[in-house]
């Protein structure tokens, strides 16, 4: 029994000795030092661009329109009703002093053409893009003037003539004086104002009936200029409203400013209309002379009111 125990111890000692020999029998060799490679530099991010600002759809001719009287939201034409209560543009004025009113009149809002349906409109509009660029106005070919006369065969100028026609006419005077004694002063009568910028009534003369016409007298009709310069938008930029002076100068020498146009006179107009002896002055000055004579006659009549002028 003792011999087995000794034998076991010897075997264990031998195994332990072999284990020690295995662990310490060889010396570890240190790995050869190798230089570390330089690290790749981090890429530099390009500077981010400024984000694009969404300004909405581009509106053609916007900058031109912004310089025009149609865009002047501070003008009397659009601010006249600010002190009213309620503050609104009445239907009788809205056709030409409100984009909403004009669209109502031409039926762009789905209502009947030629009629203002609403009683009033907000004061926060001008004559903007949609007033003149909508389906009904693009189809207009005629305009009814305040006299009741209808001008037909029109193009794009029709949308201008709806407003630049005045609000009264020669027939307005006939209506106001109907059944009155012509030689009796009437306190109920007042001045009849054709309103402002009645260019269409002027251009179409007797066809439009804008001015008063005495029976038995003849009056000029449509002023025919030259082809391609015979309508509103052909002589005026439709967005700035300014005259195309550079194009006028092709035929009218010396025209550089609006004032220069006052000196124009056709060779066929060799008549001294205002009687001042000058037949070379511009037609503007002939008309100016006639206006001065008319004003003097009106003043003289007012001073002598009560005495019939026959």
Q: What is the pLDDT of residues 209-254, one digit of tens each?
A: 999 999 999 999 998 899 999 999 999 999 999 999 999 999 999 9
Residue 208 lies in a domain: no
User: Which among 139, 161, 190 is the end of a domain?
Assistant: 139
The count of structural domains within the chain is 2
**69, pLDDT greater than 90:** yes
**What gap in Å lies between CA 110 and CA 134, rounded to an integer?**
11
User: Which among 113, 139, 165 is the end of a domain?
Assistant: 139
Which of 26-30, 46-50, 145-149, 177-181 has the least mean pLDDT?
26-30
Residue 252 lies in a domain: no
Residue 102 lies in a domain: yes
Looking at residue 309, its pLDDT comes to: 57
Residue 280 lies in a domain: yes
Residue 164 lies in a domain: no
**What gap in Å lies between CA 108 and CA 131, rounded to an integer?**
9
Residue 82 lies in a domain: yes
Q: Which domain holds residue 308?
A: 266-310
**72, pLDDT greater than 80:** yes
User: Which among 110, 139, 168 is the end of a domain?
Assistant: 139
**pLDDT tens per residue across span 168-202:** 999 999 999 998 988 787 888 888 999 989 999 99
Looking at residue 267, its pLDDT comes to: 82
Residue 96 lies in a domain: yes
Residue 241 lies in a domain: no
């Amino acid at each position: 029994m003792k011999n087995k125990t000794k034998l076991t111890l010897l075997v264990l000692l031998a195994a332990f000795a072999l284990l020690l020999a295995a662990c310490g029998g060889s010396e570890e060799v240190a790995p050869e030092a190798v230089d570390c490679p330089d690290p790749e530099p981090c890429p530099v991010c390009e500077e981010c661009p400024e984000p694009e600002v969404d300004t909405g759809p581009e509106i053609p001719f916007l900058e031109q329109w912004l310089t025009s009287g149609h865009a002047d939201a501070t003008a009397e034409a659009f601010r006249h009703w600010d002190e009213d209560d309620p503050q609104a543009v009445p239907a009788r004025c809205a056709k030409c002093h409100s984009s909403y009113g004009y669209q109502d009149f031409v039926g762009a809002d789905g209502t009947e053409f030629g009629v203002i349906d609403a009683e009033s409109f907000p004061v926060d509009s001008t004559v903007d893009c949609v007033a003149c660029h909508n389906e009904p106005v693009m189809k207009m070919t005629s305009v009814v003037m305040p006299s009741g006369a209808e001008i037909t065969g029109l193009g794009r100028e029709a949308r201008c003539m709806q407003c630049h026609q005045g609000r009264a006419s020669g027939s307005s005077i006939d209506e106001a004086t109907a059944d009155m004694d012509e030689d009796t002063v009437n306190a109920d009568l007042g001045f009849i104002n054709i309103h402002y910028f009645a260019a269409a009534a002027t251009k179409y003369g007797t066809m439009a009936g804008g001015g008063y016409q005495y029976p038995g007298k003849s009056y000029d009709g449509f002023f025919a200029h030259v082809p391609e310069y015979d309508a509103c938008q052909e002589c005026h930029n439709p967005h700035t409203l300014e005259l195309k002076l550079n194009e006028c100068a092709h035929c009218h020498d010396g025209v550089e400013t609006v004032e220069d146009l006052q000196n124009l006179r056709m060779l066929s107009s060799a008549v001294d209309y205002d009687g001042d002896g000058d037949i070379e002055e511009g037609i503007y000055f002939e008309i100016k002379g006639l206006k001065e004579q008319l004003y003097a006659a009106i003043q003289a009549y007012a001073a002598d009111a009560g005495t019939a002028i026959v």
